[in-house]
Amino acid sequence: MSLPDGERRGATYVSPDAAHENGRGAMTERARFRSYYGRPILKEPVWTWEIPWYFFTGGLTGASSALAAGARIAGNEAVARRATLTALVMTAVNPALLIADLGRPERFLNMLRLFKVTSPMSVGTWILSAHGGAATLAGSSELTGRAPRAGLAAELAGGALGCALATYTALLVSDTAVPAWHQARHELPFVFAGGAMASAGAAAAALSPVSEAGPARRLTVAGAALELGAAQVMEHRLGELGEPYHEGQVEKLNQAAKGLTAAGSLLLATAGRRSRLAALAGGVATLAGAACERWAIFRAGFQSARDPKYTVVPQRLRLDERRRAMADGATQS
């Protein structure tokens, strides 16, 4: 048994809020950080591998529905078909992952006991269910060729719902106390949105004939740009709360996410215009990149919850600042 981590003294710490709000220099003050034997204050999530894959498949199915709807309206049947079927397949996988992660999977229907605005998981369950229904209907219609009008309506509905499905998942993580997640609440939806767009585009581009896949490739590039851009902003604004992204396993995942997404979308956008093989490679790489991004975010949260400094220092600074402000206010009045 090693010595306890004990308390670290005089850790230099910059509060992201302070740096952001006050616009002052990066060094606000030397934060004296104390803890209880270095133990975590928060609990790490109990979620396991199913959840980052859920984020990934949710983004893929949701954005694919949107892509399918758009393609259908634009008359691009090839892309519409691929996208709708992608959505159909992923919509079967998606909820299964969520249910498997439950402590009591047999009670998954309890999610539908109520609709609670304060719970992204509650709202999300309804979105998931509604989208699932729509995507199933649309996909079945595409497969069987039957009920085309119902299928179209379902496709359109699924498209709208799919946008929500792809982004609400960001709130699943940001609506927690985990510092790396909560403090990234402004950026995470856009990271997820970008990732979803890139995934849907990449899948459709890989599966569709090169000549038909133009919009898919464009969607991929736009998504990749949004994903990478939003992630960059997020990491910057997190400041030292973003430290987990630059350490250990999370750093590797992070770099993989960036690299694969950039390289994949680039490949798609260039060689993917002519070569089906390149489109496939680029598509797979982009998809892999999006998956890695979800995993990086997931794992970063665990590290953020585990080390008490991420909880204590910003709160301590915030508290001391508030007290100082109140004291100033009191002396001034």
Partner 1 sequence: MPSLGTSFGRGGATDFQQDLQHSDCIVIQGSNMAENHPVGFQWVMEARERGAKLIHVDPRFTRTSAMADLHVPIRAGSDIAFLGGIINYILENGRDFREYVIPYTNAATIINPEFADTEDLDGLFSGWDPESGAYDPSSWQYEGVAAKSAAGSRPQGGTAGGGEQSHGAHGAGLSSGHQPSTDPTLEHPRCVYQLLKRHYARYTPEMVERICGVPREQLVEVAESLCANSGRERTSAFAYAVGWTQHTVGVQYIRAAAIVQLLLGNMGRTGGGILALRGHASIQGSTDIPTLYNLLPGYLPMPHAEGHETLDDYVEEHRPPGGFWGHTRSYIVSLLKAWFGDAATQENDFCFDHLPRLTGDHSHYATSFEMRDGKVDGYFVMGQNPVVGTANSKLHRLALAELEWLVVRDFSENETAAFWYDSPEVVSGEHSPETIGTEVFFMPAATHTEKDGAFTNTQRLLQWHHKAVEPKADCRSELWFMYHLGRRIREKLAGSQDPKDRPVLDLTWEYPTEGAHDDPDAEAVLKEISGYRVFDGAAVSGYTELEADGSTASGCWIYSGCYADEVNQTARRKPGREQDWVALEWAWAWPLNRRTLYNRASADPEGRPWSERKRYVWWDEVEGRWTGYDVPDFEATKRPDYLPRDGAEAEDALRGDDPFIMQADGVGWLYVPVGLQDGPLPTHYEPQESPVSNPLYGQQANPTREEFPRTDNAYNPVDGQPGANAFPYVMTTYRLTEHHTAGGMSRTVPYLSELQPEMFCEVSPELAYERGLEHGSWATVVTMRQAIEARVMVTERIPSVTVDGQRIHTVGLPYHWGAKGVVTGDSANELLSIVLDPNVHIGEYKAATCDIRPGRRPRGKARLELVERYRSQTEDRRGPA
Partner 2 sequence: MSAGPEVTVIETPGGAAKRRGGGAPVPSTYGEDAKPRVGFFTDTSICIGCKACEVACKEWNHVPATSSELTGHSYDNSGDLGADTWRHVAFVEQRLAVGGVAEGAPDSFVAEAHRQEVVERSGIVPERDGEGLRWLMSSDVCKHCTHAACLEVCPTGALFRTEYGTVVVQEDVCNGCGYCVPACPFGVLDRREGDGRVWKCTLCYDRLGDDLEPACAKACPTNSIQFGDHGELRARAQERVERLRADGMAEARLYGEDPGDGVGGAGAFFLLLDEPEVYGLPPDPVDTTRDLGGMWKAAGLAAGAIAAGVLAAFAGGSR
Is the CB of residue 321 less than 8 Å from the CB of residue 14? Answer: no
101 binds, among partner 2, partner 1, none (CB under 5 to 8 A by kind): partner 2
Output the smallest distance, CB 6 to partner 1, in A. 10
Provide the binding-site residues for partner 1, judged by CB under 8 A: 1-4
Burial class (CB in 10 A: 0-12, 13-18, 19+), 88: buried
Output the smallest distance, CB 32 to partner 1, in A. 21
**Taken in order 216, 218, 222, 228, is the CA torsion positive or negative?**
positive
**Taken in order 100, 104, 105, 110, is the CA torsion positive or negative?**
negative
Dihedral pair phi/psi, residue 95, rounded to 5°: -65, -30
H/E segment holding residue 321: helix 308-332
In the complex with partner 1, which residue's Cβ is closer, 4 or 248?
4
Amino acid at 269: A
23 binds, among partner 2, partner 1, none (CB under 5 to 8 A by kind): none
Dihedral pair phi/psi, residue 102, rounded to 5°: -65, 150
71 binds, among partner 2, partner 1, none (CB under 5 to 8 A by kind): partner 2
Output the smallest distance, CB 172 to partner 1, in A. 34
252 binds, among partner 1, partner 2, none (CB under 5 to 8 A by kind): none
Output the smallest distance, CB 1 to partner 1, in A. 4
In the complex with partner 1, which residue's Cβ is closer, 1 or 330?
1
What does the DSSP 8-state code read for residue 14? -
In the complex with partner 2, which residue's Cβ is closer, 191 or 285?
191
One DSSP character per residue, 177-231 reads S-HHHHTTTTTHHHHHHHHHHHHHHHHHHHHS-TTT-HHHHHHHHHHHHHHHHHH
In the complex with partner 2, which residue's Cβ is closer, 39 or 146?
39
In the complex with partner 1, which residue's Cβ is closer, 6 or 248?
6
Output the smallest distance, CB 62 to partner 2, in A. 8
175 binds, among partner 2, partner 1, none (CB under 5 to 8 A by kind): partner 2
